[in-house]
Amino acid sequence: MKRMTCCLLIGVLLLCLAACSPAENTDTLCITELQSAGGEADWIELYNYGERAVSLQGWYLSDDPDSPGKAALPTAQLQAGERLVLSTADVLTFRLSADGETVVLSNPHGEAAHTVALPAAVPGLSYGALENETYPPTQFAWYAAPTPGQPNSMGMVLGENATNTEYGVRINECVARNKASLYDSEGDYGDWIELYNTADTAVDLSGWSLTDNESELDRWRFPENTVLPAGGYLLIFCDGKNSAENGEYHTNFRLGEDDDYVGLYTADGSFCSGVTCNATEQDVAYGCNESGATVRCRYPTPGYANTAETEVAP
């Protein structure tokens, strides 16, 4: 009996010591969002996806895999499920290159706990992990509404009403499973997108590009002397024909039959507009309403305004 009591006491003592001991470092930290703000402060968001707190002592961030100890993290603990935003205004000792680079988070053992390949910066957007990802995340996307310190699901992932109004042009409508809404000069029903110039002046699209791949921004470029008049519409077939003859434009890529992204970029690679077309139904369009929000349209309106009468619930 005495031996059993002694064992119980020892067990209770060990449990108490474990409860009172500081949390040990574990590799449950990761990078979930970054933004290169140009003239303002750049920032990086960290997230503890584990079930216990992690001491940040001995952790580092760097923009150079060969020199991982550039910026030491503050001596603090990051609780389970907590996010921490670090910027060049406080902790970060390096700027995020506008041309893109590799960002490394290193643990106290000097090992890379998480590495993110940051593409060339897109003004006003952040680069964040997609939600419902395993951790540490491997799939990232541009977000039109950055969410520092908040879950990325609260933001606006590129494609959902993502337009840089500075350039005046937006992707106004998209049909990713065209069977009857619009045919080309050869009588083919290719998937299509529509551009709209919201500006009061014409916009020269020479050298601008369209892509369905966020890692290949210049996949298809507009030819020289492509001008979109003020208030004008321009239709482009995304059918793989890769031609621009007699005022009819065909990209070298097709849209998929699942959710598919189309992005419009300026000649220097700056982000202009993006949309995600859900092609679960044929001849259903996704277009911008008067406020610029993306809406699902009952009847596609290629070359014309997207009226409220065509909108249906998502």
Which residues are registered as beta bridge partners of 170?
196
| Residue 14 counted as domain residue | no
Q: Kindly state whether residues 184 and 297 are assigned to the same domain.
A: yes
Count how many residues are written for the chain. Answer: 314
Q: Kindly state whether residues 175 and 300 are assigned to the same domain.
A: yes
| Residue 180 counted as domain residue | yes
User: Where does a domain end: 125, 156, 187?
Assistant: 156
- What local confidence, expressed as pLDDT, does residue 289 receive? 72
Smallest Cα–Cα separation from 272: which of 199, 201, 200, 223? 199
- CA–CA dist 47, 307 (Å, integer): 42
Q: Kindly state whether residues 52 and 105 are assigned to the same domain.
A: yes
Q: Kindly state whether residues 41 and 81 are assigned to the same domain.
A: yes
- Confidence class for position 263, pLDDT limits 50, 70, 90: confident
Please give the average per-residue pLDDT across 55-65, as a whole number: 94
Please give the average per-residue pLDDT across 31-56, as a whole number: 88
Q: Kindly state whether residues 67 and 184 are assigned to the same domain.
A: no
- CATH number assigned to the domain comprising residue 148: 2.60.40
- Which amino acid is located at 116 in the chain? V
| Residue 213 counted as domain residue | yes
User: Where does a domain end: 111, 126, 156?
Assistant: 156
Q: pLDDT by residue (tens digit) across 237-261? A: 999 999 998 889 999 998 875 556 7
Q: Kindly state whether residues 119 and 231 are assigned to the same domain.
A: no
Per-residue buried b or exposed e for 184-216, using 16+ beta carbons within 10 Å of the residue's own CB? beeeebbbbbbbbbbbeeebebeebbbbbebee
Q: Which domain holds residue 150?
A: 29-156
| Residue 12 counted as domain residue | no
Q: Kindly state whether residues 116 and 215 are assigned to the same domain.
A: no
% residues pLDDT > 70 (the chain): 77
User: For residue 25, what is the DSSP state?
Assistant: P
- Which amino acid is located at 260 in the chain? D
User: Where does a domain end: 98, 127, 156?
Assistant: 156
- What local confidence, expressed as pLDDT, does residue 49 receive? 94
Q: Kindly state whether residues 241 and 225 are assigned to the same domain.
A: yes
Q: What is the pTM of this model?
A: 0.55
| Residue 21 counted as domain residue | no
Q: Kindly state whether residues 141 and 232 are assigned to the same domain.
A: no
Please give the average per-residue pLDDT across 261-290, as a whole number: 78
| Residue 11 counted as domain residue | no
Task: Report how many domains make up the chain.
Answer: 2
Q: pLDDT by residue (tens digit) across 117-151? A: 988 766 667 888 887 668 898 888 777 668 899 98
| Residue 286 counted as domain residue | yes
Instruction: Give CA torsion, residues 117, 118, 119, 124, to 10 deg.
Output: 160
- What local confidence, expressed as pLDDT, does residue 314 receive? 45
- Confidence class for position 313, pLDDT limits 50, 70, 90: very low
**Residue 156 in this model has a pLDDT that exceeds 70:** no
Q: Kindly state whether residues 176 and 301 are assigned to the same domain.
A: yes
